[in-house]
């Protein structure tokens, strides 16, 4: 739909789930307010986009660029959309029926699939991307509580306690770690303590600008004209544009 070279299979990443979760959150809030058609509309739009994005991310081509290790926590966003979708449909229908259990079981499967891959989520320093753990874990914990209220047995209640404990400990640990790295260690941002922007000025490459000129322009013709009279000893091309330099060279 975007056209050009911006294909979804190349630019899609787990962070795109945030835009889809917004539709399910809208449906959840609308149903909580007592609305009828609006929540179903938002749920349908979110479901359509989630299906496309989930399939795209699930079968990413091997040639696509991989996400850096520091951003591996964003993979937990896979759990967020189906967790919120299950609660949204439960609010629309008034009960945690089969329509709610299907996305919940998808979220549960993704949660467990990511949780067992411990090596995939360790080996890199703390950063703000670690907060990507909190929302999916909290959503899965709340959905599990809703499911355990509908299907009451030992397994569902144990799952609700485990997910709630893990979510609480994760949020608390990340809050403490963020405060320590921000105010004590002062290394929350790797490049700059304040705004994470390096003070070093990037090198200017004047020759790159010439390739962006339109073909047939007057500036390009002037550049081609001066290029004909430059020496082949590696002298900077811009020196030939300085009249003082050229006059001194001619006198010698």
More confident of the two residues 51 and 70: 51
Q: Which whole number is the average pLDDT over 153-173?
A: 95
> Taking a C-beta distance cutoff of 8 angstroms, is the pair 198, 191 a contact?
yes
Query: Global pTM?
Result: 0.70
Q: Which whole number is the average pLDDT over 241-247?
A: 49
* Class (C level, CATH) for 8-184: mainly alpha
Q: How confident is the model at residue 246 (pLDDT cuts 50, 70, 90)?
A: very low
Q: Is the pLDDT of residue 2 over 60?
A: no
Q: How confident is the model at residue 65 (pLDDT cuts 50, 70, 90)?
A: low
pLDDT tens by residue, 166-218: 999 999 999 999 999 888 888 877 654 344 444 555 555 444 444 444 455 55
Q: Which residues of 184-197 are buried (b: 16+ CB within 10 A; e: fewer)?
A: eeeebeeeeeeeee
Q: Is the pLDDT of residue 31 over 90?
A: yes
More confident of the two residues 56 and 192: 56
More confident of the two residues 225 and 42: 42
The mean pLDDT of the chain is 79
pLDDT tens by residue, 87-110: 999 999 999 999 999 999 999 999
At residue 190, the pLDDT reads 65
At residue 38, the pLDDT reads 95
At residue 89, the pLDDT reads 96
Q: What residues does CATH 1.50.10.150 cover in the chain?
A: 8-184
Within 127-153, where are the H helices?
134-150
Q: How far apart are CA 167 and CA 186, in angstroms?
A: 26
Which tokens in the block code for residue 70? 């520091």
Kindly report which listed range (134-138, 183-187, 239-243) carries the lowest average pLDDT score.
Answer: 239-243
The CA distances from residue 161 to 118, 142, 215, 223, in Å, are 21, 10, 67, 71
At residue 192, the pLDDT reads 43
- Give the side-chain half-sphere CA count within 13 A for 198: 5
Q: Which whole number is the average pLDDT over 21-37?
A: 94
The percent of residues above 70 in pLDDT, for the chain, comes to 69
């Amino acid at each position: 739909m975007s056209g050009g070279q911006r294909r979804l299979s190349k630019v899609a990443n787990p962070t795109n789930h945030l835009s889809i979760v917004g539709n399910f959150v809208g449906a959840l809030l609308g149903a909580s307010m007592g609305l009828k058609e609006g929540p179903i509309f938002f749920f349908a739009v979110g479901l359509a986009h989630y299906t496309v994005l989930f399939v795209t991310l699930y079968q990413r081509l091997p040639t696509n660029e991989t996400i850096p290790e520091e951003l591996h926590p964003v993979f937990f966003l896979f759990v967020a959309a189906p967790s919120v979708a299950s609660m949204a449909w439960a609010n629309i229908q008034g009960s945690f029926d089969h329509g709610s259990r299907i996305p919940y079981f998808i979220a549960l499967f993704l949660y467990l699939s990511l949780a067992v891959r411990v090596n995939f989520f360790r080996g890199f320093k703390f950063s703000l991307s670690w907060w990507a753990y909190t929302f999916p874990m909290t959503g899965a914990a709340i959905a599990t509580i809703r499911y355990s209220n509908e299907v009451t047995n030992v397994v569902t209640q144990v799952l609700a306690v485990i997910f709630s404990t893990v979510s609480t400990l994760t949020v608390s640990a990340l809050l403490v770690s963020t405060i320590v790295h921000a105010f004590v260690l002062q290394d929350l941002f790797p490049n700059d303590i304040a705004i994470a922007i390096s003070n070093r000025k990037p090198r200017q490459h004047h020759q790159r600008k010439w390739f962006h000129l339109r073909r047939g322009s007057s500036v390009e013709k002037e550049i081609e004209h001066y290029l004909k009279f430059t020496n082949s000893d590696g002298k900077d091309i811009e020196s030939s544009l300085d009249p003082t330099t050229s006059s001194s060279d001619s006198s010698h």
